[in-house]
A and B are shown apart, each in its own frame.
Chain A
C-alpha cells in the first residue's frame, strides 16, 4: 500500500521528534548514480544532462518503495570548468571523485583565523580550482562560468526532482548541507594527514581556526535552508572523530560542533540529519548532550545499543549494511532488516535506511533492495 505525501510527511515528522508514527518510514539512500545505472542510462550523458537523472529517479521510485529521499549529485561540468583538483571527474564516465588535497598551508593558519572567508577566496580557491585563480578577466569569467553552470544545472535538476517527488508522494527530507567546523578545516583545507599532524603540533591554532569556522557554518545553514522546520532537515556528515583520540575530540571537535547543532535546533528551529560515519561507541556520552531534533544516522553502530543510549532524545536511522544487498540472498537481507527493526523501531523515533549511500549497481542488487524496502514497509507497522 502506497501512502500519500501528507501521510508520509506526518509520520516522518513524528519519527524525527521521537514520537511513534503509524509505520516506520523508509528513507532512500540510493544515489542518483545508482538510479542512472538501474534505469540503463549512460552515466557520462546523465551527469551532463540532469533531465536523464530525473527520469532515472522516476523509474527507481516507480519500482522501489521509499517514503523519503533528497540528494544533490556532483555535476562534472562545474568541476571541469573550474579545473578542480579536489573534486575530479574521472575519465571513464565523469563520475566525480575526491582525492586528498591541502588547500591551506600550515603557515597560513593565522590568515585563516583572522578572516576565514578572505583566506578561502584569496589563497585556497586558486590552489584547489586553478582556473578560478587565473589572473585578470580570464579568472573572473571562469568564476562566472561556474556560477552559471551551477545555477543552470541545479535548478533544472531540482525542478525535475520536485515534479517526480510530487508524482510518487516522496518527501524530500533534506535541504542544505553543512559541516562540523573541525571537519570543514580538515577536509579541503588541511587534509586528513595535515589536520592530524596539526592536532599534535599546534592544537591552539587548530582550536582557533575551528572557532573562526563556526559562524561561517551557522550562516551557511541559514542561507541554504531559509525555512527552518522539522522537514526538510539540514544535512551534516561527520568525518574525523573516529580517527581522533577521545581527548582531542573533546577539546577540538566537540565544543564547536555541539554549539552549532544546539543553536541551529534550539534557537532557530531546524532539525539536522547528522551522519555519524564509522563507529561512534566511545562518543555516546557526548551525544547524549545533543538536543531533540537530531536525526542520528549511524553507519556501523548497533542500533539496539544506540536506541538504549540515545533513543530517548534522538531520532535514529541507518546501519543496514549495503554489503548484504550485494552479497547475500533476498531472505538473508530481509532477516537482517527484521533484526534491526526489532531493536530500533519499538516506541518510535526511528527511520529505516542503509548504513551508507548506494552509489552503483555493484553496491546493491536491486532485487534485494526492493525486497528489503517492501518488507520494512509491511512489517514496520506500529499497532
Chain B
C-alpha cells in the first residue's frame, strides 16, 4: 500500500537528482527520513 506524490522526493528505485547511485547506502535512508518527517508534519495539520 504505497503512495507517491509529485511533491515528495523519496529515493525509491532511481537515485535522486544530485546524487549518485553508489551513494545509495549512505544517503538514501537519511534523505527518506526527512521526507517522512515532512510528510508526517503536513499530515498532522489535517486532523
**Main secondary structure on chain B at its contact with chain A?**
loop
A54 at the interface (CB under 8 A from B): no
Interface string of B19-47 (1 = CB under 8 A from A): 00000000000000000110111111111
Q: Is B17 an interface residue (CB 8 A)?
A: no
Q: Is the CB of A147 within 8 A of B46?
A: no
Do A223 and B40 touch (CB < 8 A)?
A: yes
- Bound Cα distance from A132 to B8, whole angstroms: 18
Residue contact A82 to B3, C-beta cutoff 8 Å: no
Q: Given contacts A215-B1, A218-B1, is CB(A118)–CB(B7) below 8 Å?
A: yes
Q: Does B13 contact A (CB under 8 A)?
A: no
Q: Is B47 a contact partner of A184 (Cβ separation < 8 A)? A: yes
Do B7 and A121 touch across chains, with their CB atoms under 8 A apart? yes
Question: How far, in Å, is A216 (CB) from chain B's closest CB?
Answer: 6
B40: chain A residues at CB < 8 Å are 220, 223-224
Q: Is B2 an interface residue (CB 8 A)?
A: yes
A214 interface residue, CB < 8 Å from B?
A: yes
Stretch at the interface among A89-97, A123-131, A164-172, A360-368: A123-131
Q: Are A187 and B43 within 8 A (Cβ)?
A: no
- Are A117 and B2 interface neighbours, CB within 8 A? no
Q: A256 → chain B, closest Cβ, in Å?
A: 10
* Interfacial chain A residues near B6, Cβ < 8 Å: 115, 118
Pick from B3, B45, B46: contact of A215, CB below 8 A.
B3
Closest beta carbon of chain A to B29's beta carbon, Å: 12
Q: CA–CA, A132 to B37, complex, Å?
A: 18
B5 in the interface, Cβ–Cβ < 8 Å?
Answer: yes
In the bound complex, residues from chain A placing their C-beta under 8 Å from that of B37 are 223
Q: Is A150 an interface residue (CB 8 A)?
A: yes
Q: What separation, in Å, do the CA atoms of A128 and B40 have in the docked complex?
A: 17
Interface of A is mostly: helix
A219 at the interface (CB under 8 A from B): yes
Interface residues on B, range: 10 to 19
Residues of chain B within 8 A of A223, CB atoms compared? 36-37, 39-40
Query: From B43, which residue of chain A is reached at the shortest CB distance?
Result: A220
Shortest CB-to-CB span from B39 to chain A, Å, is: 7
Q: Quick one: closest A residue to B36, CB to CB?
A: A223
Minimum CB–CB distance for B7 against chain A, Å: 5
Kindly state the separation between the CA atoms of A82 and B1 in the bound complex, as whole angstroms: 31
Residues of A within 8 A of B7 (CB): 115, 117-118, 121
B40's nearest neighbour on chain A, judged by CB, is: A223
Q: Known interface pairs A117-B8, A120-B42, A121-B42. Does A179 touch B3 (Cβ–Cβ under 8 Å)?
A: no
A36 proximal to B (CB < 8 A): no
Bound Cα distance from A125 to B45, whole angstroms? 8
CB <8 Å contact, A187 and B47: yes
In the complex, what distance in Å separates the CA atom of A293 from the CA atom of B38? 29
Partner of A219, one of B3, B41, B44, B46: B3
In chain A between 142 and 187, which residues have their CB closer than 8 angstroms to a CB of chain B?
A: 147, 150, 177, 179, 184, 187
| Chain A positions within 8 Å of B1 at CB level | 214-215, 218-219, 259, 263
CA distance A187 to B46 in the complex (A): 8
A341 at the interface (CB under 8 A from B): no
Min CB distance, B9 to chain A, in Å? 12
Q: Which 3 pairs across A and B sit closest by C-beta, in order of nearness? A: A215-B3, A117-B5, A218-B1
A-B contact pairs, 13 of them (CB 8 A): A115-B5, A115-B6, A117-B5, A117-B39, A124-B46, A129-B45, A187-B46, A187-B47, A188-B46, A212-B3, A218-B1, A219-B3, A220-B40
Q: A184-B47, A220-B39 are in contact. List 7 more A-B contacts (CB 8 A).
A: A117-B3, A120-B42, A121-B7, A129-B45, A187-B46, A189-B46, A223-B39
